[in-house]
Amino acid sequence: MNATPSIELVCPAGGLPALKAAVDNGANCVYAGFKDDTNARNFTGLNFDEASLKQGIRYAHERGAKVLIALNTYPQSDNWSRWTAAVDRAVDYGVDAIILADLGLMDYARRAHPDLRLHLSVQGSATNYEAINFYRERFGIQRAVLPRVLSLAQVEQVVKHTPVEIEVFGFGGLCVMVEGRCALSAYATGTSPNCQGACSPGKAVRWEQTPQGMETRLNGILIDRFDEGERAGYPTICKGRFEVGEGEASDTYYAIEEPASLNTLGLLPDLARMGIRAIKIEGRQRSPAYVAQVTKIWRDAIDACLRDGERFSPKAAWMAELNKVSEGQSHTLGAYNRPWK
């Protein structure tokens, strides 16, 4: 059984094999979604039906881990009942908490299931303690996941001024937007990731081999072109290469965001000192092998940090292994590393 440390490790489960991989390698919590647009990773082949979720909850609970369900998209007036039914189903199956972004759904969950533990999703875009305290006072939120746009000093200010548990992203893909406010994918495809749960939905994605190289397109828009042997990533507008400028002054490069994964192993002593309650690993769309590898490294690192305190230092082998599964095979501290903030 996994003992609960002072920092919980929260890992992605895009399906039952990934859930088991996370639990077996030391996750304290796994987060998952249903096979529909009530969650923000609504892709074909991902997520859980009733049977697999019940099996996953049983597997996790038998080993001392918790299961969190992400209902973190925004329902509309014509489909409201599907989101409330999803809350009811999650409770019936025995999940440990629900991760929510929509205020109306929080209100429903609190009234219909007053003993249910509620977490504020990163999709809720709460970037200051006033917003988080509002969610606590009105809806009883017990944990908030911070967007990946705050500096380390700003994160510490949030922790100091709220009794709500704070969860931060520790490793995985970055989002250049304040989560919950992205309109790029919707602009290009007509499908909103905030409502339909898919940034760059699969039906709009195309790969095509051309004389110029492998091209990736989103709803017909050229996102990137890759040379032979170059890894062709999934096409999202924010991580595409675009021609900027005109004539001789033009250049083609990652104009919005360069592919790299967030990796905060080196910040663990700071996060522990300021009282971060949980560290989240991004990647419900990634393979069970990815989940197993990343979970094992972060379990070892968190345990070492809690044991060694300020003497903690990430092992070179950990960083090398994490780089292998990082976007662009490189890592960054992202917005956390803004010393002027």
Overall average pLDDT of the 139-159 stretch:
95
Q: What is the pLDDT of residue 1?
A: 42
What's the farthest any 2 CA atoms get from each other in the chain? 64
What pLDDT shows up at residue 5?
A: 53
Give the mean pLDDT of the chain: 92
Q: Tens of pLDDT along 159-193?
A: 999 999 999 999 998 777 777 777 888 889 988 88
Q: Which tokens belong to 12?
A: 């992605």
> Could you give the C-alpha distances from 203 to 39, 108, 148, 199, 217, in angstroms and in order?
17, 32, 28, 11, 11
pLDDT at 24 over 60: yes
Read off the pLDDT of residues 263-286 as tens digits, 9 standing for 90 and up.
Answer: 999 999 999 999 999 999 999 999
Which pLDDT belongs to residue 270? 95
Report whether pLDDT(341) > 70: no
pLDDT at 2: 47
Q: In what order do the strands lie in the sheet with 205-210?
A: 205-210, 213-218, 221-226
Domain boundaries, given as residue ranges, for the chain: 8-174+260-336, 188-254
pLDDT above 70 covers a percentage of the chain that reads: 97
User: SS3 for 106-172, per residue?
Assistant: HHHHHHHCCCCCEEECHHHCCCCHHHHHHHHHHHCCCEEECCCCCCHHHHHHHHHCCCCEEEEEEEE
Residue 334, pLDDT above cutoff 70? yes
Q: Are 301 and 318 in contact (CB under 8 A)?
A: yes
pLDDT at 3: 46
More confident residue, 64 or 341: 64
Q: What is the pLDDT of residues 37-49, one digit of tens each?
A: 999 998 889 999 9
Return the pLDDT at 96.
98
CA distances from 148 to 101, 191, 268 (A): 16, 23, 16
The model's pLDDT over 86-123, given as tens digits with 9 standing for 90+, comes to 999 999 999 999 999 999 999 999 999 999 999 999 99
Phi first, then psi, for residue 171 (nearest 5°) are -155, 145
Residue 339 has pLDDT above 50, yes or no: yes
Give the CATH number of domain 8-174+260-336: 3.20.20.70
pLDDT at 4: 43
pLDDT per residue as tens digits for the range 287-304: 999 999 999 999 999 999
Winning range, highest mean pLDDT, from 24-28, 200-204, 334-338: 24-28
Whether residue 30 contacts residue 48, with contact meaning beta carbons closer than 8 Å, is answered with no
